[in-house]
Structure 1
Amino acid sequence: MLVHKARRAMVVAAAGAGILGLALAGCTPAAESGPVEITFLVDNGDPTVQRSEALVDAFNAENPDITVTVETRPQGADGDNVVKTRLATGDMSDVFWYNAGSLFQALSPEQTLVPLDDTIVGNVVDSFKAGVTAGGNVYGVPVGTAMGGGVLYNIPIYEELGLSVPKTWDEFIANSEAIQEAGKTAIIQTYADTWTSQLFVLGDFANVLADNPEWADRYTANEVKYATDDSARAGFEHLQEVFEKGLLNADFGSATFDDGVRMVATGEGAHYPMLTFAVTTLEANYPDQLNDVGFFALPGNDAGTNPLTTWLSAGAYIPVTTEGAKLEAAKKFLAFIASVDGCDALTDAVGAGGPYFVEGCTLPNDVPRVVSDLLPYFQVEGGAYPALEFLSPIKGPGLEQITVAVGSGITSAADGAAQYDVDVEKQAQQLGLEGW
């Protein structure tokens, strides 16, 4: 989590809000049968919790007959298992936060989720809808903004050493080696939170598409593999290279996402491969260093292209086990999330990390440096491409464990890529895709 330039025609905000409010007021049992309480399951990462609580607080204040309560689950693979298990056992919260794209498809949404009509998703842009659509129905609303996957970097370190933002992988390595020679940590990795280990692979996908625009379609058709495609395998090779060259923080195996944000903010490290949603944590915990951190796309081989890999925001969904008054309350909550008021609640509480996926939502003029560095990629043709998980339904569940092993020197890049191809094959077969 995205070259999300497609836009629906904008529904007039005041009229749309009035029609939506009347429709929901007429069908919400909360007004007839007393207060309704619903639960909202989210992952326990600080940025997610902050966004969720901001939305819930604003919604509860506007809807005194409905109370939404936030519940948390683990992040990463453990959290994926919680979501899938609770859906399978009929024990899911009334609303839940989860990925769009391939991971959403793995939930069997046509069997497990409630489809949403235009009273809820009318203002959601088409590019996001595509990531939460199955069988012709839309099942989710965007929770947050578009994100870029690349490298957060410490600007004072770059200025001190006279470095320029790299446009190729070789330039990135040269910068990193100069930083290490100056006695500073060049590249931060935080493998205690295993999901963070994937950025060198997933964030490199725009460079893969720049080399071969048909790669995602061929991948879905089982015509290309990571292990045998030089361009796709490069991300695994990058993980191996930075480890073998000793460019990582000494505690890369035990450091967490929060440690990574701290290190790049305070100058304990120079580069942190990460999604730009980290700006929320940066702004909350290190406001004095907010504009000491910049962002650039993960460099590839061609300085003339160097596009950004972009991500859809997560989505909010309703399981089929939510019924009656709770279902109507849940729909009203999703309609709020997918509104200008919902966007404003997020911006007021945690700032905006990129462009929103809801028509009419705007960004403040004083965005952090990370965001101002991100936006130009969306403004030029060929400047940004969606991550693979939004172009293909296939994403193997074991990637984060494989990338930890490669990035820790346990597994070679070639073996890691081959292992992921096996992981992907299992997923494709479970989805019943042709050619697998």
Structure 2
Amino acid sequence: MAPTFSSTSSADSSASSLHGKTVLLGVSAGIAAYKACELARLLVKAGADVHVQMTEGATQFVQPLTFAALTSNPVGTRIFDADTEAAMPHTELGMKADLIILAPATADVIARIAAGMANDLLTTTMLVATCPVLVCPAMNRDMWSNEIVQRNISTLDEFERYTILPPDSGELACGVTGPGRLPEPENIARIAASLTQEQSLIGRRVLISGGPTREYIDPVRFLSNPATGSLAIALASCAQARGAETTLVLGPTHLKPPPGVELIRVTSAQEMCDAIMARVSDVDVLCMSAAVADYQPLSMADAKHKKTADDTSLRLTRTPDILEAVNQAQSKPIVLGFAAETETNLEALKTAGRNKMLKKNCNLLFVNHVYTDQRGFGPGDTEGILLGPGEFDLHISPQAKSSVARILCDALEQELSQSALRDKEVS
């Protein structure tokens, strides 16, 4: 029986898993506390019931009223608060929360939690809670590198329910440059969503290719295409959120891959082929979403070509066929192929995709229409047809690539399940 998939999915990548969850946002005393306001807004937008607890020092940077307005919930600042509706606020929220996010987590709060101290509302709540905790450190560069701080981080990291999101590097408020910046709220929200999502791909290894390749003509010119790797990055984020060990082989792009995904940077089709073939026998799923150049110059000039004639010619040769090489691998994973086509007729698009799916021996294939104005490339919406076993096809209407990535991951999960059933029947 052909699998059935749903193309209905929200545009926000964190909404599906955070919706209806109770999230406690712990804010401690650092200049990065202002970013926690945007984080609270994103969590609420994703459908979470957000409650905020602040250390006394944090209230010097951001007023509790700000968080109360953003979350529509009272803000906790003291254990004994006559204004709170809860008789025991430190135990009630600790037991109720589905997820705790400490952002920013200062060196002081990290030390107190690692030592098991309970000398304010936030640290007392932490001792009661049994849910996952996302710790987002933010502090001075030298404080972050201090061995005592690192020991405290290691202490928390030993506990399975604690996840440490390392600080970003950049210019800090104190004027120095280095690690210590609170990660952007969008990244924190994405990681938070992954901690509340069902880990349906845990134990699986997923290899994804993305972006364009560049085939150099001379040191300053190359053959390429407008691909940015945005769908590959969305796929990597989705697979990681579902618990998969995820590797992304990424061509030249200005986009940043999700934190925590193993990243391999490549430039040419040959480099991409080498990176994939070195790993393909050890993975369960291969997603070939890269826009790999079909041809490369026969040779690359050592120096820049000079404009000496009105016309010229360039000799090209084929680049490696990566999927053909994958089919020769000793152990072949489930393969999701991709095809960018210019056919405007829906049936012609399906026919082109089905032909490539059969030729490349893919389990699934996503074919999308690309336009002369470069729609279909870049971080905007995309649409296409997902082809599967037999006569199965699913039209995916225009939507955010994060939503398309979830549909594709759903399809891969079902294909993995059916593959396991087939293997069981054979054995």
Q: TM-score higher than 0.5 here? A: no
State the TM-score, normalizing by the size of structure 2. Answer: 0.23
Q: Name the one with the larger helix percent.
A: 1
Greater relative contact order, per chain length (Cα 8 Å cut-off, separation 6+): 1
Structure of greater Rg = 2
